[in-house]
Chains A and B, each alone.
Chain A
Amino acid sequence: MSTSSYKKQDPYSSTAGLPDKMAVFQECLQQFNATPVNAKKCRQLLAKLLRLVYHGETFPSQESTTLFFSISKLFQHKDVSLRQLVYLTIKELSSTSDDILMVTSSIMKDIQGNDAVYKPNAIRTLSKVLDSTTVHSAERLFKNAIVDRNPVVSSAALISAYNLLPSSKDVVKRFTNETLETIQSYKQFPPTQFQLHEYYGSATSNLPSTSYMYQYHALGLIYQLRSNDKMALMKLITSLSEGSSLKNSLSIIQLIRYINKILLDDSSLIGHLFPILSGFLKHKSDMVELEACKTLVSLQHLIRDDQFMAIVTTLQKLLSVPRTATRFAAIRLINKISIKHPEKIMVVNIELESLINDSNRSISTLAITTLLKIMGAGTIDNGSGGSESVDRLIAKMTSLMDEITEDFKIVIIEAIENLALKFPSKHKKLVTFLTDLLRDDGSLQLKTSIVDALFDLIKFLPDPSAKQLMLMNLCEFIEDCEYTELSVRILHWLGDEGPNTSNPSYYIRHIYNRLVLENSIVRSSAVIALAKFAAVCGGDVAKNIIILLGRCLNDVDDEVRDRAAISLKFINSNKKKLIVSDSRYDLYTLENKLVHYLNDEENFNEKFDIDEVPVISNEEYNSIEYNRKINKLENINDNSAVTEVEERVKSPTGGEATPGDSLANDLLKQQEYSQQLSGVEQFVEYGKLTKSTIEPVYLSERESEIAVSVVKHLFIESKHLVLQYNINNTLPNTVLQDISVVAQPDNDLYQEDFIIPLAELRPNDTGIVYVSFTIPDIEEAELLSAFGNTIAYTSRDVDEDGQVDPNDDGGWPDEYQIDDLEVLACDFITPLYNSNFTALFDQLPYQDTSVVTINQVDNLEKAIEKLKNSLNMMPLDGSDFVSSGEAAHSLKLLGKDVWGGKVGASIRLASTGGKIVAKVEVKSETENFGNIVISSVY
């Protein structure tokens, strides 16, 4: 005892003083069962026990129960302070012990008693030891406690009732009246319950008379009881928001959340509820103001622009409060607004600029990214003549660059790149900014991010002169580049892009310089780059390069010699394909296939078939890349953005979590479908699967008794369409038999071939019904169709063992109507990227035009979203971005149809009187296909 207590004094040992579990256990049994009980010692022992519990130690069930039993002995002792800790311990042990019910009567006695100090603790502990069968006995106690004049007792009862909700809602429901009464009542702390601590001296007069927390708890409980009664809830909100019946900030926050919830369900109430919310924008507590802002921002689609300004004003005020948490919250919200509506928050520019040097890193990061977005929007809004604003942005950035750390520079570089991608017309200044930055000093990481940005811009910017400029800058950069890794990447890139420019000899000169001056790694990649020039340009260029490469055959490094030799061989024998390729295998599928191949040794009997892996042409690969870039840009919403930026800022080496790999996943999914279908013998002769919809379309509510989703598979070579109905039986006691789907096309040219029905579907199982159609030729007018769908089945009851009752009369046949399904243009198109839409569009031979009204949307943004989905084409030149307030917009879409032809659509949208009218101009390489696209726009 003496030595152990001495050891405990050592504050430097990491487990300093963590008592031994079994020793504490033994001591507890001993002390708690002693007579008389030593209150002081027992409280210390309980504290030790709690330390173990809060350290994550658990006692086995047996010991926990023994412990529990001996703790219950302590109820004999009258000491208030001991009793309070006993309750806490019981509460913490209740989850692991078995016979917890035995303390119920002791606890109930305490609740009925008048000792105010531990009464709340007793009530809260009671809810832990009760279960749904014993809760009835405590009903009366709870009711009395809720209406108790002591706010702490009332709160404890309300919280306990709240915790009992999942297990015994019916009992808690009977507290409704008491709870309602409590919200509006005034309760005061009784003077006796206060424990005096030195800090306050002897006077309790400077303590608040009440903290109104019971309002918060009562409001929380009443919502759970009333949540499905909208009228009652509205009444509650209206009555509570009047005057100042809610005194507690937390309860006001809760009220605001209920308003938010109601508005999410029924947005028509905004007119009535907005004044209440906007009233909370000017509250003495910043957490209430913040909650009001949060709610209004999430509902911003319901709010008029002038109303929105009030939110921004409040946020602006919150940005300059000393409390870090509030500033953080405000900037988080502003950043969220800036993603969609950067123009609305331009007024906070000055505050944002001052936050860049905030001591909290999250705040400064958010300030920078937000500022960039606002400035980006500023440059766009001023239209084509607004070169000043670009200048201003660049000037601001340049001055920023000196002040901030390298991590932030990378954030800015990415933002600039995104800006240039999104708004190609503004690229010039932005590119200059990047290239200037490339010349400054910087670490490998910084340079890499600049070079990455330039690569992307070279790939995706339409203007060839901009490309030229950037490539030349890269050439200059490698003249004086200290990082081998970067030189190699740039040389590779020059090899890919350089030959297609107007002056390849310029690049050849620079690359050859590397060959003379650099180390062997750079030299060998320079050799390959030169070979590419020779292969693509041919003629004199090739001749010169052969001479240059000939010199490399005498290089001191064997890798350089090897590469030079093999390149020369290829060039001389005109094997262009071996030097430059215009397509590549889909790596994700390849990996998947290879892993699959290696998993089973039996596979080794046959050769791995590389033809199963789809080949992606460079054009398609670019589409995927571009989409990924843009998606990444758009998906940067609140949470991920902050965490992502944070993560990257703090751990620069950490790899990015695969964002936007959805396209690669799509390809995988397609493979899966193809494998699945090839397993069905009826489909074998259909040949190669051309295209499937990736995401199943739900034709019923996901929660309905029989949930149905559908996937469309298109076999274009054999002109078949297979509808795959995934049917999920959610009925617990029913087996469905002989399930088939009757799909009725409204297009006579669709011929139903056969249905593969499902014999039986057990509860909670999912099965598939296939329906196959022969579809018309593209030459024959109508290709689109809508299907009316009905499921037919025989339903039979099952007993608890899941056995079909043999005596029943074979069940009863039933039908179930599900939503219609449409075959639209999107089923025939995959998105395609091209950096020069206008030129390509003009070349497409077949043209169709039409003017249509787009249904069910009321603004341009939604219309564009809808068009993108129903056509499945790629929006180009950043034309899917509309700045708010615009009345007309032009959307450029490009895709590739399943017959291999390109199809482009130039859609001019105008918004008049709440309706969206579109003038669609479609050009395609496949005859008649334009028609189909136009019919899908509505």
Chain B
Amino acid sequence: MSLNISLYTISAVLILDNEGNRVFSKYYHSSLEETSDSQFETSSQQIKFEKSLFGKINKINQDILLYDNHLIVYKQTNDVIVVLVAKINENESLIYSTLANLFEAISILLDNTIDKQTILDKFDMVSLAIDETIDDGIIIEYDPATIVSRVTNPPSSHYDVNLKNIDISEKGIFNALSFASKKIGERLQQGL
């Protein structure tokens, strides 16, 4: 049983949707160990791993399992699963806490609604939260409140309203009108 004395703890962070497709995937390759497994070298290997892992964990809320010589912890809500992959001998409780805290941080940032659409809409926040939690496989921060506090909100629009962006020429208004009529047409058709 080899002992991991480096700080490199996490092998991958994944967010998968309800069909096992990736929403977010980041594999960390530790630079200190030359003999790190090349299991996730190529994109197709990664996707294969994700697909088969998804088959094991989808709709089975068990929090933790050993799979394919990795320690897997995950949380599933709505239509997404957040997964952390670590080495098989890693401290289970540590990895799970990291996941739970990351999950809490994301859920604060997304106003308690973690689903695929919200994640995609606020992808900048989610990416930043993950980056503030884990960097290169090293756990940076652990406290959800601190993680949240490190993630910046997107620039607010009123601060950046630029009159130049609003086209008030004749052509602009015409465009707006035609767009509106097209939309209304579509809606009506759907209604019928």
Contacts and interface: CB of A to CB of B under 8 A. Distances in A.
Interface of A: 2, 11, 14-17, 36, 38-40, 43-44, 46-48, 50-51, 54-56, 79-82, 84-85, 88, 91, 117, 120-121, 124, 152, 155-156, 159, 162-163, 165-166, 189, 193-195, 197-200, 204, 206-208, 211, 213, 216-217, 220-221, 223-224, 248-250, 253-254, 257-258, 260-261, 264, 286-287, 290-291, 294, 298, 323-326, 328-329, 332, 359-362, 638-639, 642-643, 646, 650
A159 B64 contact: no
Given A14-B21, A360-B64, A213 B140 contact: yes
Interface in B140-162: 140-143, 145-146, 148-157, 160, 162
7 nearest A-B pairs in the assembled complex, by CB-CB distance: A325-B96, A81-B152, A329-B92, A220-B7, A287-B93, A47-B124, A324-B63
A208 B31 CA distance: 32
Nearest to B96: A325
A360 B66 contact: no
Nearest to A641: B66
A197 B73 contact: no
A253 B62 contact: no
B62 A291 contact: no
B43 interface: yes
A260 B91 CA distance: 14
A298 B4 CA distance: 13
Nearest to B165: A38
Interface in B44-98: 46-47, 56, 60, 62-69, 73, 88, 91-97
Interface of B: 1, 3-7, 17, 19, 21-26, 31-32, 43, 46-47, 56, 60, 62-69, 73, 88, 91-97, 108-109, 111-112, 116-117, 120, 123-124, 127-128, 131, 135-136, 138-143, 145-146, 148-157, 160, 162, 165, 179, 182
A291 B91 contact: yes
Nearest to A204: B149
Contacts of A194: 149
21 contacts: A2-B182, A38-B162, A38-B165, A40-B156, A51-B120, A54-B25, A152-B150, A155-B141, A166-B31, A195-B152, A198-B111, A208-B146, A211-B141, A220-B138, A250-B139, A291-B91, A291-B94, A298-B1, A298-B3, A326-B92, A326-B96
Contacts of B141: 152, 155, 211, 213
Contacts of A15: 21
B47 A217 contact: no
Nearest to B19: A14
B92 A325 contact: yes
B123 A47 contact: yes
A79 to B, nearest CB: 5
B93 A329 contact: yes
Contacts of A248: 142
Contacts of B73: 325
B152 A208 contact: no
A81 B150 contact: no
B155 A43 contact: yes
Given A40-B154, A208-B145, A211-B146, A323 B140 contact: no
A232 to B, nearest CB: 15
A16 B24 contact: no
Contact of A359 (B6, B62, B97): B62
A217 B155 contact: no
B47 A84 contact: no
A156 B143 CA distance: 16
Given A197-B153, A207-B149, A211-B142, A84 B128 contact: yes
